[in-house]
């Protein structure tokens, strides 16, 4: 099958195209209806079909003769542990954990929060929820108690699963005090907290509410997968929007299964028996699609890594894993490769490893700069592919489809739209623009299977955030252009979301925290360029008259507050005092201009600027910053 043919068919007749792809999924009830459109622009794929995602990831693989093949390889340089699970072993663990969840009263449709480090029990927890139809929401372990509390109140879980600690380099981060704090802050209370005790820290358990995971699961009876509707939610994944309230992206069982079957083979070129390594944390969408559901549903062996690109123990960590497990393809964020390159620029460490199993590397999560791209291709000797997607889509929107004939990759671009995605570029008035003209990147409806169609408990917010700006199109929030051959170039977000080491964060939320400081009259938080992390936040602050605080003290206060409320992952450590902020005549802060000044780029003062002199003041304050980057 060629890329051109598949793509044309997927756009001309999406229902026929996806009916065909749906055949690779083993359903309990096959779809007789493929696509139903709703009046508000959303749609439902495979509305009358039924399946179970855990069955597809485990039981079905065993039925296909893969019971003894490795399903998961846990490699943890931070604890010195290596452990593997065959499909049969993983199913045994998951089926018993699912039995325990049921025993604790978790029912189909109930929310379950998983706040865990990169231990295999996190993947088991996800699959156990999927087995009984509970809706899991994995919250990244780096999030602070306040962020966890926000998600608890939104997801309203009946159960919370956690571990006693996570490990960051040499540091043990205790999770239980964070969970206890979050539960004290949250209005909603789950009935129970199930705690996986790790040897590095013992969490005290609160009688009546907290349970020891390992002890409780030994007595549980394994349970079989339940039949679920294609539209039943599999998971909620919170992601930053432009406000402080995270969006609960909902992923449905049916669309997700069809999309991931298609993506693993077509985009990533993976076949059953291959070894795949999705380098991410299970707390992100990549962890869901490319560590757990995608590779297992495709019958691959999935590497589950609790470590870093560098310092665990050095910049050869990735190459050691590739060699040891004969990894065939991997996914990672560009920031990881930039960190490796910084420590091993001449690839001396890389050269000590046999990378012959590796066919290609896929990078996404943020822009892949051409210098890192070229370096990686040169030192690895493998094709390096940039591709672009979002938490909302759950699988790649643009990518070289290595599993299709005629697939092409173009350096500098995140490549062409994957079959199913009609990617276009619109100007501010919603008109299509021609090749090489920048605008808002949108996807013409319908979105293909797998893409989120609603937000947990707030459908109107979904329609408002994604479908109302340009009727008939899904608004990605990214700006960029297409070239004359349909290759897509992503230039960055058009909203107030920044991307720090591939993590999406709301500057609005940080502004809110900065503005709460008693000395702050007004502020703006923007993302500025960082050589390793891609972007980092910078706060520009106008002090109240007579505030009597020095910049260094303000910095200490604000850094502590962002760490406490959002978490260290925000990498918030830059504050500059300014006399005024540049605004439009209607009072809107000119954030896009601020971003350009901070990054030392040329800009045209907008005609709506209230006082152009403010821009020069800001340039003077930020001049050192632009040189530093």
**Site for ligand AMP, rule CB under 6 A:** 239, 285, 364-368, 386-388, 390-391, 414, 476-478, 490, 493, 499, 504
- Three-state DSSP at 22 gives helix
3-state SS, one letter per residue, for 502-552: CEEEEHHHHHHHHHCCCCEEEEEEEEEEECCCEEEEEEEEEECCCCCCCHH
Q: In angstroms, how far is the first alpha carbon of the chain from the final one?
A: 45
State in angstroms the smallest separation of the CB of 76 from ligand AMP. Answer: 24
The span from the CA of 403 to the CA of 399, in Å, is 11
Rounded to 10°, the helix 253-266/14-21 angle is: 80
Which among 404, 353, 406 is positioned nearest to 382, based on CA atoms? Answer: 353
State in angstroms the smallest separation of the CB of 531 from ligand AMP. Answer: 16
Question: With respect to ligand AMP, which residue has the nearer C-beta, 417 or 541?
Answer: 417
State in angstroms the smallest separation of the CB of 499 from ligand AMP. Answer: 5
Question: With respect to ligand AMP, which residue has the nearer C-beta, 77 or 246?
Answer: 246
Which among 198, 179, 211 is positioned nearest to 103, based on CA atoms? Answer: 211
- Cβ contacts of 177-180, under 8 Å, gap ≥ 24: 178/115, 178/144, 178/145, 178/148, 179/115, 179/145, 179/148, 180/206
The span from the CA of 610 to the CA of 521, in Å, is 19
State in angstroms the smallest separation of the CB of 249 from ligand AMP. Answer: 8
State in angstroms the smallest separation of the CB of 410 from ligand AMP. Answer: 13
* Residue tagged 């295999």 (tokens): 120
Question: With respect to ligand AMP, which residue has the nearer C-beta, 89 or 494?
Answer: 494
Q: What are phi and psi of 534, to 5 degrees?
A: 85, -65
State in angstroms the smallest separation of the CB of 504 from ligand AMP. Answer: 4
Question: With respect to ligand AMP, which residue has the nearer C-beta, 377 or 557?
Answer: 377
Question: With respect to ligand AMP, which residue has the nearer C-beta, 318 or 388?
Answer: 388
Which among 50, 1, 2, 3 is positioned nearest to 22, based on CA atoms? Answer: 50
Question: With respect to ligand AMP, which residue has the nearer C-beta, 6 or 499?
Answer: 499
The span from the CA of 357 to the CA of 365, in Å, is 24
Q: Which residue minimizes CB distance to ligand AMP?
A: 391
State in angstroms the smallest separation of the CB of 537 from ligand AMP. Answer: 15
Question: With respect to ligand AMP, which residue has the nearer C-beta, 568 or 621?
Answer: 568
Question: With respect to ligand AMP, which residue has the nearer C-beta, 61 or 499?
Answer: 499
Which among 329, 322, 318 is positioned nearest to 271, based on CA atoms? Answer: 329
Return the ∠ at Cα 601 (arms to 600 and 604), rounded to 5°. 125
State in angstroms the smallest separation of the CB of 453 from ligand AMP. Answer: 16
State in angstroms the smallest separation of the CB of 304 from ligand AMP. Answer: 19
Asked if 327 and 321 touch (Cβ cutoff 8 Å), the reply is: yes
Which among 296, 321, 295, 289 is positioned nearest to 308, based on CA atoms? Answer: 321
Question: With respect to ligand AMP, which residue has the nearer C-beta, 164 or 372?
Answer: 372
């Amino acid at each position: 099958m060629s890329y051109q043919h598949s793509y044309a068919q997927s756009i001309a007749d999406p229902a026929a195209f996806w009916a065909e792809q749906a055949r690779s999924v083993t359903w309990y009830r096959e779809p007789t209806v493929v696509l139903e459109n709703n009046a508000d622009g959303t749609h439902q794929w495979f509305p009358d079909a039924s399946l179970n995602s855990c069955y597809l990831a485990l039981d079905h693989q065993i039925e296909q003769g893969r019971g003894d093949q490795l399903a998961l390889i846990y490699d943890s340089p931070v604890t010195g542990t290596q452990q593997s699970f065959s499909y049969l072993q993983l199913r045994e663990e998951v089926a018993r954990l699912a039995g325990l969840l049921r025993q604790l009263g978790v029912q189909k449709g109930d929310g379950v929060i998983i706040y865990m480090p990169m231990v295999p029990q996190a993947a088991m927890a996800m699959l156990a929820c999927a087995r009984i139809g509970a809706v899991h929401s994995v919250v990244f372990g780096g999030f602070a108690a306040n962020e966890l509390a926000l998600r608890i109140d939104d997801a309203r879980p009946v159960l919370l699963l956690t571990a006693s600690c996570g490990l960051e380099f040499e540091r043990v981060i205790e999770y239980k005090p964070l969970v206890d704090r979050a539960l004290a802050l949250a209005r909603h209370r789950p009935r129970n907290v199930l705690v996986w005790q790790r040897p590095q820290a013992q969490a005290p358990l609160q009688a009546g509410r907290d349970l020891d995971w390992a002890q409780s699961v030994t007595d549980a009876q394994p349970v079989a997968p339940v039949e679920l509707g294609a539209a039943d939610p599999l998971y909620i994944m919170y992601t930053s929007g432009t406000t402080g309230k995270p969006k609960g992206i909902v992923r449905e069982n049916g669309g997700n299964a069809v999309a991931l079957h298609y993506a693993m083979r077509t985009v990533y070129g993976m076949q059953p028996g291959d070894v795949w390594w999705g380098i991410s944390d299970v707390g992100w969408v990549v962890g869901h699609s490319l560590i757990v559901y995608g590779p297992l549903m495709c019958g691959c062996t999935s590497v589950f890594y609790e470590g870093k690109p560098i310092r665990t123990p050095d910049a050869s960590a990735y190459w050691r894993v590739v060699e040891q497990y004969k990894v065939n393809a991997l996914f990672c964020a560009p920031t990881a490769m930039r960190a490796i390159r910084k420590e091993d620029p001449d690839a001396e460490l890389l050269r000590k490893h046999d990378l012959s199993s590796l066919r290609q590397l896929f990078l996404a999560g943020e822009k892949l700069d051409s210098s890192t791209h070229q370096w990686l291709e040169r030192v690895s000797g493998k094709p390096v592919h940039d591709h672009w997607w979002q938490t909302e889509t759950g699988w790649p929107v643009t990518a070289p489809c290595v599993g299709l004939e005629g697939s092409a990759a173009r350096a500098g671009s995140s490549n062409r739209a994957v079959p199913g995605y009609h990617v276009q570029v619109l100007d501010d008035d919603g008109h299509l623009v021609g090749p090489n003209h920048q605008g808002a990147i949108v996807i013409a409806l319908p979105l293909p299977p797998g893409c989120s169609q609603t937000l947990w408990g707030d459908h109107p917010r979904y329609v408002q955030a994604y479908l109302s700006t340009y009727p008939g199109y899904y608004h990605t929030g990214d700006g960029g252009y297409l070239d004359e051959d349909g290759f897509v170039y992503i230039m960055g977000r058009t909203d107030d979301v920044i991307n720090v080491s591939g993590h999406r964060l709301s500057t609005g939320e940080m502004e809110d925290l900065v503005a709460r400081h008693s000395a702050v009259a007004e502020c703006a938080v923007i993302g500025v360029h960082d050589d390793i992390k891609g972007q980092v936040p910078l706060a520009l602050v106008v002090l109240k008259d007579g505030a009597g605080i020095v910049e260094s003290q303000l910095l200490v206060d604000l850094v502590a507050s962002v760490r406490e409320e959002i978490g260290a992952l925000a990498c918030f450590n830059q504050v500059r005092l300014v006399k005024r902020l540049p605004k439009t005549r209607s009072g809107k802060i000119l954030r896009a201009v601020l971003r350009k000044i901070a990054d030392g780029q040329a800009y045209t003062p907008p005609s709506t600027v209230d006082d152009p002199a403010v821009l020069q003041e800001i340039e003077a304050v930020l001049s050192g910053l632009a040189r530093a980057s």
